[in-house]
C-alpha cells in the first residue's frame, strides 16, 4: 500500500497554472515535508509545464478523454462538466495514500502539514451555504474505486452548481452532520469575501489565517501587482493585500530565504 502523501492542485489553462505555481511555491516556502503534485490538462503549454516542474515533484497530465472506457462514457454523457471531471481525477493518484487538494486560486500562508491528520472527506464550510463544504481545500484518499463511484454519481445526478463542489457535496452528503472532525477550521480556506461580510471576525481572527482562497470571478492573476498597496496595511484593504502577497510569491525565487518576521507583514 502507498505510504506517501501529497498536496495536489490543478490547472486546465495557462492562467490557472500561474495559480498552481503560487500554490507550490507557498507550500515550499513554509517547508512542507509532503510531495507536491500538479495535474494539468494537455492544452497547458510546455512553458507552463516546465515552470511547474521546477516546483512540483510531479506534473501529471490528465485527460478525461484518454482514460478508461467507463470514464470516457461518463464524460460523453455530461460534456459540460469537463473541468469538474478533471478535478475529480485526483482520486486516481493512488501512488499516494492520502492527499490534500488545493484549488489553483489558493495561497498558503504557513506550514499546513497537519492537514494530513484529517480523514476523507474533510473540508471547511462554504461561506455562502455553511452546510456545504467548499471544495477549494479538501483532504481525500486516492482510490480508483471511489473515483469510479464519484463519476457514476456525477453522470446520474449531475452537479447542482455546475462544478465539482456540487458533485462532491451530494456524494459526501453527510458531511454537515456526521462527524465534526471532518470540518476543517475556516482559517484553512479563508475566502476573501468573508473579510467584508464579517469584518469584526476578521479583525479578531484574521491573523490566524493559514490558507487564503481567491474564490469567485476575480483572480489575482487578473489584476496587476501594486507595490504601493503592498506597503499599506489597513484592514479594509486586506483582500488587496492578500492579492499583493500572491504576486510577491509569484515573482519570488524559490531559493530566496525570507525573514520570518516578514511573513505576516501585509495583513497584520
Residues of this chain that interact with Mn ion (CB under 5 A) are 103, 105, 136
Nearer to ligand UDP, 51 or 104 (CB): 104
Q: Which residue has the cell 455530461?
A: 78
Residue 103 found at the interface with ligand UDP (CB under 6 A):
yes
Among 4, 216, 251, 254, binds ligand UDP (CB under 6 A): 216
Which one, 104 or 209, has the nearer CB to ligand UDP?
A: 104
Question: With binding defined as CB under 6 A, does residue 162 bind ligand UDP?
Answer: no
User: Interface with ligand UDP includes 13 (CB under 6 A)?
Assistant: yes
| Number of residues in contact with ligand UDP under rule CB under 6 A | 14
The CA-CA-CA angle for residues 245, 135, 86, to 5°, reads 100
What is the smallest separation between the CB atom of 211 and ligand UDP, expressed in angstroms? 12
Q: How far apart are CA 209 and CA 190, in angstroms?
A: 7
Instruction: Establish if 221 lies at the interface with ligand UDP (CB under 6 A).
Output: no
What CA–CA distance (Å, rounded) separates 141 from 97?
Answer: 6
| 62 phi/psi in degrees, rounded to 5 | -115, 130
Binding partner of 187, given ligand UDP, Mn ion, none, CB within 5-8 angstroms per partner class = none
Q: Which residues pair with 140 in a beta bridge?
A: 99
Site string for ligand UDP, 63-102 (x = CB under 6 A): --------------------x---x---------------
Q: What is the DSSP string of 182-243?
A: GB--GGGSEETHHHHHTHHHHHHHGGG--EEE--SS--GGGS---HHHHH---GGGHHHHHH
Amino acid at each position: 500500500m502507498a505510504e506517501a502523501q501529497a498536496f495536489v492542485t490543478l490547472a486546465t489553462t495557462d492562467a490557472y497554472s500561474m495559480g498552481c505555481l503560487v500554490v507550490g511555491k507557498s507550500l515550499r516556502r513554509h517547508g512542507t515535508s509532503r510531495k507536491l503534485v500538479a495535474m494539468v490538462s494537455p492544452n497547458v503549454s510546455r512553458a507552463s509545464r516546465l515552470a511547474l516542474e521546477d516546483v512540483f515533484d510531479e506534473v501529471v497530465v490528465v485527460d478525461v478523454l484518454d482514460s478508461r472506457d467507463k470514464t470516457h462514457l461518463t464524460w460523453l454523457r455530461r460534456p459540460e462538466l469537463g473541468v469538474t471531471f478533471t478535478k475529480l481525477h485526483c482520486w486516481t493518484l493512488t501512488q499516494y495514500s492520502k492527499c490534500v487538494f488545493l484549488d489553483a486560486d489558493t495561497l498558503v500562508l504557513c506550514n499546513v502539514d497537519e492537514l494530513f491528520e484529517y480523514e476523507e472527506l474533510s473540508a471547511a464550510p462554504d461561506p455562502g451555504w455553511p452546510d456545504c463544504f467548499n471544495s477549494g481545500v479538501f483532504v481525500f484518499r486516492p482510490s480508483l474505486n471511489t473515483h469510479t463511484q464519484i463519476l457514476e454519481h456525477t453522470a446520474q445526478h449531475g452537479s447542482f452548481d455546475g462544478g465539482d463542489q456540487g458533485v462532491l457535496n451530494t456524494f459526501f452528503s453527510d458531511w454537515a452532520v456526521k462527524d465534526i472532525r471532518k470540518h476543517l477550521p475556516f482559517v484553512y480556506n479563508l475566502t476573501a469575501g468573508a473579510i467584508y461580510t464579517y469584518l469584526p471576525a476578521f479583525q479578531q481572527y484574521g491573523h490566524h489565517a493559514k490558507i487564503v482562497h481567491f474564490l469567485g470571478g476575480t483572480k489575482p492573476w487578473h489584476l496587476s501587482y501594486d507595490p504601493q498597496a503592498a506597503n499599506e496595511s489597513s484592514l479594509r484593504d486586506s483582500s488587496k493585500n492578500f492579492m499583493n502577497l500572491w504576486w510577491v510569491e509569484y515573482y519570488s525565487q524559490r531559493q530566496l530565504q525570507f525573514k520570518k518576521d516578514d511573513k505576516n507583514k501585509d495583513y497584520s
